[in-house]
Amino acid sequence: MEHSSASEALPRPLTPHERAILDQLLGGDFPGAAEFRVQAEHVRVVAMCGCGCDSYDVGLTDPDVPRADLPNGPIAQELAVTEPDGTYYGSIILLAHDGVLSCLDFHTWDDRPLSGLPPMEHLSVVPR
């Protein structure tokens, strides 16, 4: 992730929109979900991507939260991102490292310019 040097003070709490996306990603039953939901209550944004997509890295405020016993990489579900007409153009994935949430990444499959995270009504859960 290309990190931003924006003047926004970091670390910071998640915005309501960032929290809603995180909660949607962590809904359902998949390996590590219970541990990740506990961790999600103790995360702060520690770095932002500098490209304009609003992807971000998270850090834990409580190092004693339970860790998921999973390999490093994306969690078992992602969010499909669609246009208002339903055309699929990207996804949001949540990465974990050493059993701990580490990064929310929004990426597209074309060269469109990004200006922040997509609205909730354009997101749907997709198992990986």
Over residues 2-11, the pLDDT tens digits come to 444 444 799 9
Alpha-carbon gap, residue 21 to 104, rounded angstroms: 9
Cβ neighbours of residue 87 under 8 Å, at least 6 residues apart? none
pLDDT at residue 4 in the model: 43
Residues whose CB falls within 8 Å of the CB of residue 20, separated by 6 or more in sequence, listed in order: 120
Q: What is the pLDDT of residue 128?
A: 84
pTM: 0.90
Q: What percent of the chain has pLDDT over 90?
A: 80
